[in-house]
Amino acid sequence: MHNSLKRVRNRLGKTGLILLCLLFVAANLGFLAQITSAASLTNTYIRLNRMKTGTDSTMRVVFKTTSTGGATGLTIDMNGADGGLSWTSNSGTVSATQAITGVSGCDVSATALPGGSLAASGSGAVITVTGVTALSATTLYCFDLTTANSVHTPTSAGEYHPVITETGGATDSVTVAVRVVTNDQVTVNATVPPTFNFAISSCAGNIDNFTANLTASAVTSTAGCVVTVNTNALNGWFAWAKDSNTGLHSATASHTVASVAAGSQSDLSSSTGTEGYGLGITSVSQGGSCAGVCGTTSAIAAYDSTASGGANGLVGGVDTTSRLIASSTGVANGATLTFKERANINATTPPANDYTDLLTLIGAGFF
């Protein structure tokens, strides 16, 4: 080597040797410039919207440009170039037809990939994006490939290394990792049990006393009780009532103010001075909203005393048989019934302070 340089030096002289060295350095600097001209993109991810093996998937791409802007296109090589698993060798594919949309946000405050004529297509393992408005430097961009089979994942689970490369104005690139798994979905099971809640309230201790002494000159009513129903029974629910005496019975007087005909309606206000007793539903509330369509709650005609706000003498007769008094067509969220007992007496009805009846109210969800 020394002899060679010496011969060159002898032939060219000192000045020629200096020129030769400068040319050598310049050539190497040019080579290094070629190596380092393409920088690495940062803040990048490829999101396969299905990671399961052998499955069609759309795709999202996020990347950040370097200090060099100006790119007008991109390529995404699903095979990669680092000796990792090959997308196509494992039966992965890329659709020739691709639909592309610039998307802002993308969980990283990205800018939508710009372009008045954005387009994408696929060939082999490579997706090519064109029609991009020149990209700005150090900017985070996002776009979606929305064709249902934009890619078809390989049949072999594992890690794949696609390469994203800018084209047209910049050649920056980056290698990312994506994972293909055997199954990317979880089945979630749950049970909603049937529910039925039937509560009596608004009459302390479930005692419903008449608001005044019974009289032969007017209909007298109790203060009333409220039944509240909550149920998810899709077909609705029912409420029944029965009593123990088929009327108001006094042990002291050995007398019963008899119920009107059971299961049918009577208007006690039209028969004052004549003994009669019964139950009337004076108001109905449908309750609150339901997960689906709430059922409609209504009083059975024989016991419906909701006309004029319940300010009348309409009652249905009660006896020792469970009589249907109300029903609903579907689920209920706090549906309510207000019911009262009403009575007439005769001028000669025996006096006593122990006239009583025991009502039994029951309900059932219609599942």
Tell me the per-residue pLDDT of 4-57, one tens digit each, with 9 for 90 and over: 434 434 443 444 433 333 344 334 433 333 333 468 999 999 999 999 999 999
- Which residue has 């206000």 as its token pair? 269
What does the pLDDT read at residue 12? Answer: 39
Residue-wise pLDDT tens digits, 204-244: 999 999 999 999 999 999 999 999 999 999 999 999 999 99
Residue 83 pLDDT:
74
147-179 as b/e, with b when 16 or more CB fall inside 10 Å?
A: beebbbbbebbeebbbbbbbbeebebbbbbebe
CB neighbour list of residue 21: distance below 8 Å, 6 or more residues apart:
none
Q: What percent of the chain has pLDDT over 90?
A: 87
For the chain, what percentages of helix, strand and coil (3-state, to nearest 5) are there? 15, 40, 45
Confidence at residue 308, expressed as pLDDT on a 0 to 100 scale? 81
> Can you name the residues that pair with 45 across neighbouring β-strands?
62
Q: What is the pTM of this model?
A: 0.71
Any idea where the domains of the chain sit in the sequence?
Answer: 42-180, 196-365
Give the per-residue pLDDT at 38: 64
Of 41, 42, 45, the closest CA to residue 178 belongs to 45
Strands 140-145 and 111-112: parallel
Asked: is 42-180 a CATH 2.60.40 domain? The reply is: yes
Check residue 82 and give its pLDDT. Answer: 75
| Residue 271: partners with Cβ closer than 8 Å, 6 or more residues away | 344
pLDDT at 266: 96
Give residues with Cβ within 8 angstroms of 255, minimum separation 6.
249, 349, 350, 352
Convert the pLDDT of each residue in 51-86 to its tens digit. Answer: 999 999 999 999 999 999 999 999 999 999 777 799
- Give the up-direction half-sphere exposure of residue 11: CA atoms within 13 A in the CB hemisphere: 7
- Average pLDDT of the chain, as a whole number: 91
